[in-house]
A = this chain, B = another copy of it.
């Protein structure tokens, strides 16, 4: 999809870190700008492309497509195409995708706590 340079230092560093640090590896998978938000929505059940787009008001179709593709490649979600016109495509978390649920919940709690700490006197 998007072209990454496998000869770059950045690529090498990312690989090396991900190899020895599973938490960094995990963060690389769900760390895209929209990836976590997409997963958060899908935890409540499958959604169509257009439904996701509505729930992420400012996302462009291109970005949504890219993020969904990346998540599909990483086996976080399953894409189902129905042979209809106009097309209908549904996205659903895989089992390993659903296992992100407790992590997302904890991130949410930590985030709320951090916000209070930082923004309130």
Interface residues, chain A, with chain B CB atoms under 8 Å away: 9-10, 12-14, 16-17, 21-27, 29-31, 33-34, 36-37, 40, 56-59, 74-75, 96, 99-100, 102-115, 117-118
Q: Is B114 within 8 A of A23, CB to CB?
A: no
Number of this chain's copies in the complex: 2
A58 contact from B12, B22, B26, B75, Cβ within 8 A? B12
Inter-chain contacts of A106 with B (CB < 8 A)? 102-103, 106
Q: Is B96 within 8 A of A117, CB to CB?
A: yes
Chain B residue nearest to A116 in the complex (CB):
B96
Given contacts A21-B108, A22-B110, 10 further A-B contacts (CB under 8 A): A21-B36, A21-B37, A22-B112, A22-B115, A29-B114, A75-B114, A96-B117, A103-B103, A103-B110, A106-B106
